[in-house]
Structure 1
Amino acid sequence: MTAAKCIETMKKATFYTIPLLIAALALPATAAHAHEPLYKNGQQIFLVAPDGSLLDYIPEYGSVVMGRDGRGRPILLDHNGNLVATEMTAGEYGVYRDSYGGAPDPAANGWGRRDWRQNGDRFAARPNRFGESAPRWNGQPSSAFPQAPEIPAPASPDISEERPAARTSSAKPDMNVVALQVFLDRNGISPGVIDGLMGDNVRKALAAYAKKSGRAIDPEADKETILQSLSLEGGLPVRTYTITAEDAAGPYVASIPSDYGKKAELPALSYTSVSEMLAEKFHMGEGFLKTLNPDADFSRPGTVIKVVTPGGKQKDTVARIIADKGRKQLFAYDAEGGLVAAYPATIGSNDTPSPSGTVTVERIAIDPNYTYDPKKNFKQGDNDRVLTINPGPNGPVGNVWIALSKPSYGIHGTPDPERIGKTSSHGCVRLTNWDAQELAGMVKAGVTVEFID
């Protein structure tokens, strides 16, 4: 079978979906970095990445296809035919871990990429029809945390607030897509992180732009129109920026620990690097920022770098918000029913859904403290007392908390903007920090928030 036919066969395969376990079940210590517990045919299973590590997320529906390697083992492939993970039962993973120490060379022992490629399934890495690759996650393990500063946390904790290292992708950023993302951002329709990749968040933003403006955009046919519009309003999508002494000074923290007790010892949940701070300032993916500036010393004042030029904050008054769970998107409307802004969002999950119906905004907190109380909701690690975690963009709820009338639920920021719209949360609505800040400036107490499916 040719590579093209193999890829086509995989594309026609049933999309891989796994139901999440509703009842919480502790993973063994060796699987501390794994995704949430999964069961298939009555057996607990793990998703093992090609490097031997445990995948710490569950691929979103449609982002991967199911196949089998040369030994008949279930595998997950992205739409380029690249191996994402091998499915193993708990018993298989135990034997694998004991034999290979948990992080072997996959090519040497057959657990991973080279195994299925050596059996005739030669999937050449190439852009898929959207010019993108499946989501990858190389961050820290998920850990539970409450959803609100200074108020009781939800019964089921949210996923990790850990900020991973800058993510890399096999897909090459397309500067035409960058221009499109900047155009959408300047028009109040957030594409999420600007990274030059034509992903779902961009496609959702295109639909929202058509709804707001009454005019649909064809990313291919309208390239010149987009560039002309950008040059007349705000300038070209990429410009230079000189790193200042203030940028380099921070303050920054070396890393963000997962343990709440150690978090509480930090004076602030600050950025961990100049590049992380600048990426958020310019609404960019940190990996894309580094791709644009491969030789830059971000810690040195006077360094000239390339950045995108996003739009300023929208200034309208929002009277009504719709949180669309199915689209993973939040829509903000004015009093006349006009669409003011749209943001990609992570909204609830099947096991711990967001509220149904309509609630209201109660208050807005910028740079909120974060209160952890193990007696009210859950216990994290060995922490058994109330902790106050100081503010910062890498805090559990980012740097914004918009409290809703349903206790413990809110709209908030996140320390990991690149996962917005791609994973499940446990009830709350997560936006990028910059989108949450923009929304916070347009709402006030009493604004209605309607959750729809």
Structure 2
Amino acid sequence: MRRWLALALAFTLAASLRSQEENPAAAPAEEAAAPEFKARPVQNLLEAQVELHRRGFSCGSIDGVRGAQTAAALKAFQRSLGLRESGELDRATREALVLDEEPLGEHTLTAEELASLHPVPDTWVGKSELERLGYATAIELVAERHRANPKLLRQLNPDVNWDDLLPGAVLKVPNVGTVILDVRAALLHVRLAERELNVTDADGKIVAHFPVSIAKMAEKRPVGQLTIKVVIPDPNYTFDPAVFPESAEAQTLDHKLILPPGPNNPVGVAWIGLDRPGYGIHGTPEPEKVGRTESHGCFRLANWDARTLLALVEVGMPVIVEP
């Protein structure tokens, strides 16, 4: 009897193992499931940058390096919580920046993404002749989708040839995703000297922070109170040769050009028009230059920050600009 039971048990175990080999889905769930992420404070500057972005406090391109924009984002975040404004990743700030999910994730390139890549012409006329000013390269696409500095992407993916990628390529990226803030904005506050734009609620609390470029010429920097007049996602752009006298190509043109929408449009993926003709808050196709180079007069943000801001503002909202 015992020998029969032993044989029956062995037969049942063998059948179960065969079933799991033929149908992996039949394996015990605890073996297939990934370990659950346990919430914890950030451990380093890269993780802090990721979590700051998730909360609407942008430090520009995520690169894991402490620079002026990261320090400004930390100060704004600390101010929002009433912490000491050190601009450093001190103990109190680390404890407040708690990760609810992995700081790094993956991006799997699709055939559609790769097929959409198209070189961006160097000339204004060439740009105006395209149907869309989309991404030019795979690294540009992935960097902007995940708010990452291209240098960081190369560090995270040392064996990747970015010029020869196929559909299905899996890339390691900052795990930020689309930032949707559950806040009610009441005022935009641009600080020219600090080159930053803060969003505050009705109580004056900072609920979002972005680096911003300002006009190169001081006389073109509006100071005082302005008002939002129009909010446009994915705008086209009217190129007026008269506004660009420094451009050799502009000097040869006798008419305006309409440039199509897209992330490589001169105003990026968002236009927030102000009540001063020609002035607005908008995106840019060169996020690494935000806050480091000047504009013709508008306030320029990285495209990902412009998208986040677009969802917070409305027509009639005041904008305070201080020196």
1:386 to 248, 256, 268: 256
Mark the CA change 1:305 to 1:221 in structure 2 (over 3 Å): closer, same or farther.
same
Q: What is the CA distance between 1:377 and its match in structure 2?
A: 7.1
Matched, 1:185 2:49: no
**Greater shift in the superposed pair: 365-374 or 349-358:** 349-358
Query: Does structure 2 conserve the Cα–Cα contact (< 8 Å) formed by 1:179 and 1:226?
Result: no
Match of 2:12 in 1: none
Match of 1:325 in 2: 192
Mark the CA change 1:352 to 1:395 in structure 2 (over 3 Å): closer, same or farther.
farther
Q: Structure 2 CA distance, aligned partners of 1:264 and 1:295?
A: 37
Q: What is the CA distance between 1:338 and its match in structure 2?
A: 2.2
1:310 to 154, 159, 176: 176
Q: What is the CA distance between 1:272 and its match in structure 2?
A: 0.5
Structure scoring higher RCO (CA < 8 A, sep ≥ 6) equals 2
Q: What is the CA distance between 1:297 and its match in structure 2?
A: 4.5
Q: Structure 1 CA distance, aligned partners of 2:102 and 2:311?
A: 26
Structure 1 residue identity aligned to 2:111: A
Structure 1 residue identity aligned to 2:144: E
Q: What is the CA distance between 1:214 and its match in structure 2?
A: 1.6
Match of 1:434 in 2: 304
Structure 1 residue identity aligned to 2:82: G
Secondary structure of the 2:252 match is coil
Q: What is the CA distance between 1:410 and its match in structure 2?
A: 0.2
Alignment of 1:138-287 (within 5 A): 176-216=44-84, 218-219=88-89, 221=91, 225=95, 229-230=98-99, 233=100, 235-249=101-115, 251-257=116-122, 259-287=123-151
Query: Does structure 2 conserve the Cα–Cα contact (< 8 Å) formed by 1:361 and 1:449?
Result: yes
Q: Structure 2 CA distance, aligned partners of 1:358 and 1:351?
A: 17
Mark the CA change 1:359 to 1:195 in structure 2 (over 3 Å): closer, same or farther.
same
Q: Structure 1 CA distance, aligned partners of 2:90 and 2:79?
A: 19
Q: Structure 2 CA distance, aligned partners of 1:438 and 1:430?
A: 13
Match of 2:222 in 1: 355
Percentage identity across aligned positions? 37
Q: Structure 1 CA distance, aligned partners of 2:243 and 2:70?
A: 39
Match of 1:18 in 2: none
Match of 2:202 in 1: 335
Structure 1 residue identity aligned to 2:44: N
Residue-by-residue CA offset, 1:337-363 (whole Å, 9 max, x unaligned): 221101011122344432111010001
1:403 to 244, 255, 273: 273
Matched, 1:295 2:172: no
Aligned residues: 273
Q: What is the CA distance between 1:437 and its match in structure 2?
A: 0.7
Alignment of 1:118-137 (within 5 A): none
Query: Does structure 2 conserve the Cα–Cα contact (< 8 Å) formed by 1:241 and 1:305?
Result: yes
Q: What is the CA distance between 1:253 and its match in structure 2?
A: 1.5
- Structure whose alpha-carbon radius of gyration is higher: 2
Q: What is the CA distance between 1:238 and its match in structure 2?
A: 1.2
Mark the CA change 1:433 to 1:294 in structure 2 (over 3 Å): closer, same or farther.
same
Q: Structure 2 CA distance, aligned partners of 1:374 and 1:185?
A: 37
Query: Does structure 2 conserve the Cα–Cα contact (< 8 Å) formed by 1:297 and 1:303?
Result: no
Structure 2 residue identity aligned to 1:307: V
Residue-by-residue CA offset, 1:85-132 (whole Å, 9 max, x unaligned): xxxxxxxxxxxxxxxxxxxxxxxxxxxxxxxxxxxxxxxxxxxxxxxx
User: Structure 1 stretches of 5 or more lacking a match?
Assistant: 1-174
Residue-by-residue CA offset, 1:202-232 (whole Å, 9 max, x unaligned): 00011100111222474254697478x21xx
Residue-by-residue CA offset, 1:350-386 (whole Å, 9 max, x unaligned): 4443211101000111111111233577572422212
Q: What is the CA distance between 1:426 and its match in structure 2?
A: 2.6
The CA RMSD measured in Å over matched residues stands at 2.2
Match of 2:3 in 1: none
Secondary structure of the 1:340 match is strand
Secondary structure of the 1:388 match is strand
Q: Structure 1 CA distance, aligned partners of 2:238 and 2:300?
A: 18
Mark the CA change 1:400 to 1:292 in structure 2 (over 3 Å): closer, same or farther.
same
Structure 1 residue identity aligned to 2:293: T
Secondary structure of the 1:209 match is helix
User: Structure 2 stretches of 5 or more lacking a match?
Assistant: 1-42
More helix by share: 2
Query: Does structure 1 conserve the Cα–Cα contact (< 8 Å) formed by 2:120 and 2:133?
Result: no
Structure 2 residue identity aligned to 1:199: G
